[in-house]
């Protein structure tokens, strides 16, 4: 019975934090930011294992060490937290009212960034700029994830901080 509870907990966590589309990622990350839930927000950061596998997929000839993946994952989480905190300031400045937020459409722009070692191209890092358009108290905003990465059929935050912008009418 104890194993069944553990299995159900693991399944719940996988379903709760899995984001199969960029729209799901944007909506879930925005919700965590809006609720000021730092722990829920950090669930969208890739683990050291995922970062290492993403590096290997992006640049197959690059030698990825566990230390490299660990440092990159720590850097990514630090950058993500910077975005989380700046979002809190922006939401307060814009007086975003969670009760009036209406999510709208999501827009994606695909990016391919060349990875270089000196002058030699060693791979391509693929990411997606994800923009969630929304309204709050009759004002329009854009919530931007500048570089969502996809790995294993799921999307995660990249290493650029999320942003919130008020849109002109």
* Per-residue pLDDT tens digits for 75-111: 999 999 999 999 999 999 999 988 999 999 999 999 9
Can you read off the two tokens belonging to residue 6?
């553990």
How many structural domains does the chain have?
A: 1
Global pTM exceeds 0.85: no
Domain containing residue 86 = 2-166
Please state, in angstroms and rounded to a whole number, the distance separating the CA atoms of residues 112 and 102.
31
Q: What is the pLDDT of residues 14-66, one digit of tens each?
A: 334 457 899 999 999 999 999 999 999 999 999 999 999 999 999 888 888 99
């Amino acid at each position: 019975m104890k194993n069944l509870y553990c299995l159900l907990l693991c399944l719940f966590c996988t379903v709760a934090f899995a984001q199969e589309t960029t729209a799901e990622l944007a909506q879930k990350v925005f919700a965590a930011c809006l609720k000021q839930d730092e722990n829920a927000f950090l669930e969208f950061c890739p683990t050291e294992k995922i970062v290492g596998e993403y590096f290997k997929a992006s640049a197959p000839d690059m030698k990825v060490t566990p230390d490299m993946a660990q440092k990159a994952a720590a850097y990514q989480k630090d950058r993500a937290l910077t975005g989380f905190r700046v979002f809190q300031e922006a939401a307060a400045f814009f007086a975003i009212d969670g009760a009036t937020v209406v999510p709208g459409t999501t827009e994606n722009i695909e990016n391919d960034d060349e990875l270089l070692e000196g002058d030699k191209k060693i791979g391509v890092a693929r990411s997606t700029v994800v923009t969630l358009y929304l309204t709050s108290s009759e004002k329009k905003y854009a919530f931007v994830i500048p570089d969502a990465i996809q790995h294993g059929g799921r999307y995660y935050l990249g290493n650029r901080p999320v942003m919130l912008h008020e849109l002109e009418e």
